[in-house]
Amino acid sequence: MEEAHRYLHGESSNASEMVQQIVKEGRKYGIGAMIVSQRPSEVDETVLSQCGTFFGLRLSNSTDRGKVKGTLPDSLAGLMDMLPVLRTGEAIITGEAATLPIRCRILLPEKLPNSRDPKVAEQWGNKRRSQDFMEDIYEQIAASWRAQSPTRPKNPELSIERNVAEDSELKANG
């Protein structure tokens, strides 16, 4: 969810409540969430507390760095001091997906996806959020995501050619 600070800012709203429910309960349906913001200090505490892995890109605002620091163990908090000096595309990855913190470079895709934004704004004003309705929505989303197949890398897999040795070759080579 790009620009999360714009609609997950801690004030009660349909979007905020819906995302809170997804990040708290989505895992049991096989759903994860990527919360993206250039202003983590403005993102709701409940949503941030459910994030297991953080990709920290260049971040110069001390308030925002402080918010990210608060999500890390004390032993790793010093890493956040590196955020202002990262180059474009560099990130520090911490959390469940990284046993140790990782500094990496994120490359742009060769081809941008042919997709469009979902039309969620129309649903924000809709108060139909019974448990059955929400479970149906979760199941539809999970089924859609599970049906997608990830792209394969461009490089062909390496293969090792194996030849069966003849008895005469084995005897000759000792």
Q: What is the pLDDT of residues 125-170, one digit of tens each?
A: 565 555 666 777 778 888 887 787 665 555 555 555 556 656 665 5
Q: Is the pTM of this model over 0.85?
A: no
Q: What is the pLDDT of residues 86-95, one digit of tens each?
A: 888 898 888 8
Q: What is the three-state SS of the chain? A: CCCHHHCCCCCCCHHHHHHHHHHHHHHHHCCCCCCCCCCHHHCCHHHHHCCCEEEECCCCCHHHHHHHHCCCCHHHHHHHHHHHHCCCCEEEEEECCCCCCEEEECCCCCCCCCCCCCCCHHHHCCCCCCHHHHHHHHHHHHHHHHHCCCCCCCCCCCCCCCCCCCHHHHHHHC
Q: What would the pLDDT profile of 6-36 be if each residue is shown by its tens digit?
A: 777 767 777 778 888 888 888 888 888 888 8
- What local confidence, expressed as pLDDT, does residue 118 receive? 66
Mean pLDDT computed over every residue of the chain: 76
